[in-house]
Amino acid sequence: MKPNIIFLMTDQQRWDCIGRYNRHILTPNIDRLADEGILYNQAVCQAPMCVPSRYSMMYGLYPSQLGVRTNYGGITKEELLPSAPLPELMRRAGYQTAGFGKTHWNHNAQGKAEPSARGFEHRAVGLARESGHYEQGAVMMGDIHPERLQAYMDETKDYGAGEENASGYIGRTSGIPMNHHRDGWVAEQCLHFIEEGGIDSTRPLFLYLSFLKPHAGFNVPKEFEDLYRLEDIPELPQPPWETEVETHLAATDMINQGSRKAYLDKRAVWESMTALERRRTTLRYWANCTWLDHYFGQVLDRLRIRGVLDNAMIVFVSDHGEMLGERRFRFSKYCLYDSSVRVPLILSGSFIAPEKRGTVDDRPAELVDLVPTLSKVACLPRNPMLPGLDLLGDAVRRGSFCEFHGKGAPVHSAPAYMWRTKEWKLILYLEGAAGNEAPGSQETRGELYHLQSDPHEWTNLYGDEAHAKVRERLKTELLMQLAVAWAKAPVFYDKRGLAGLEAYYDQA
């Protein structure tokens, strides 16, 4: 029988915020997955924000192939989908598909009564029906337990859009029960499904559990906040300069004054704090990670008792990272630096070959690799248009790719592209807007960082002729990576259809 697939996901969890990377962080269940599986320690997302990253991960295509480049994007018409999303692929492969928590498709922008669940047969979402995140047939927290959702909203009412203003990042010790939190309710729904006969024993199971945190706001249950001491939290290193100059982040600030103001307002708050007060934010972020790890442990324990994990592939991943005050008190994501683009990625479970368990894979890995990897696990034919690789195979790409188009409001920024190896990172960008009528007249700008000697990416070597050879090699690799990806998708009309693409895989 095909293995069950258990897909565990967090929102905005830094790559280094699991116990395997940081001895201060308590994530015993995630660490156990790493001990029993493969840890991909060079994994990156394809866009440093929720919506395009999740689209890219679930469809196996780059954001620009999908046309979803910012959090203002989303494909609202099912007939325009360039490929089937992961839950639908699993359903077609004969899996029972159950989804709990956030997908963030943004596909209900037009207020449709029954927007597609995109392959999920059983669905629970920890939000209100009118939030824009309702999917066909979903059990909504706002319908079942409106008083719990209201209690959460009341506690976070001062946290601003996305709960990411200064108050959201300062946070508080939560004063409401855990199951009044949206993630607590989602975990409760998932556990109920497992324990109350929701699993169809005649089919393999695809179970998707996706939480909204550790994304701000940082209103953390006391029992998890109390696991940490301020005295143990390290100071955040800050660069030797005061202002971003000649970087893609500076270019974004220039074109989006609203975003720049939000950053400066937050920075002013953090600069007025004592060092100990600033540590509280890091503590609460880590406590959020531990809280979600606790839920993952509960779900995995229940699945283990019911024999679901006897034959299973388990995925743990996040959609992107979190700056958490780096680079002069930058928070959230929205840039191509490692704290924003690197993600924790683990493949674990009994499906993993015994000799691979407890290993670390330092190949360049991308979130687009999950669709081809899980498609193969589910015995589905490979979609030759997808740029991703099978993470359980032997193929190696030269580097990893991420793209950034600003926040998308009020205008789309001209694109910034990242190409990253274990040793080097190249970022190419243009200043100004994507809608500029003569973008070719603008000078291409760049950043080059030697990650091994400069892990914080503070020293830009792009204009240093001593590194010109490395710079030009990385440019060529980036160009050819995109050229091959764009040549295959999203639309491939040819007299022979996809046969010309499939022939390569048939020979390999």
As a whole number of angstroms, the distance between CA 400 and CA 99 comes to: 29
Neighbours of 239 (CB within 10 A): 14
pLDDT at 492: 79
**Per-domain residue ranges for the chain?**
4-247+274-403
Structure tokens at 52: 């395009």
* Residues 230, 234: Cα–Cα separation, whole Å: 9
Contact 95, 107 (CB under 8 A): no
Residue type present at position 122: H
Compute the distance between CA of residue 174 and CA of residue 55 in angstroms, rounded to an integer: 32
The pLDDT value given to residue 500: 80
Kindly give the parts of the chain with pLDDT less than 70.
109-111, 437-442, 503-508
Q: Which fold has domain 4-247+274-403?
A: Alkaline Phosphatase, subunit A (3.40.720)
Angle between helices 50-59 and 370-377 (to 10 degrees): 30
DSSP 47: S
Token pair, residue 484, equals 């091959």
Query: What pLDDT score does 80 carry?
Result: 87
pTM over 0.75: yes
Positive or negative CA dihedral for 243, 245, 249, 254? positive
Please state, for a pLDDT cut of 70, what percent of the chain lies above it.
97
For 46, the token pair is: 């394809």
Structural contact between residues 427 and 401, judged by C-beta atoms closer than 8 angstroms? no
Q: What is the pLDDT of residue 327?
A: 97
CB 144 within 8 A of CB 180: no
What local confidence, expressed as pLDDT, does residue 109 receive? 58
359 pairs with which residues across the strands? 38
> 3-state DSSP: the chain helix, strand, coil percent, rounded to 5?
40, 15, 45
Write down the pLDDT at residue 506: 54
Q: Where are the beta strands (DSSP E) in 112-204?
A: 122-125, 139-140, 172-173
The fraction of the chain above a pLDDT of 90, given in percent, is 85
- pLDDT tens, residue by residue, 414-460: 899 999 999 999 999 998 888 775 555 568 999 999 999 999 999 99
- pLDDT of 54 reads 97
> Which token pair is 241?
């300069």
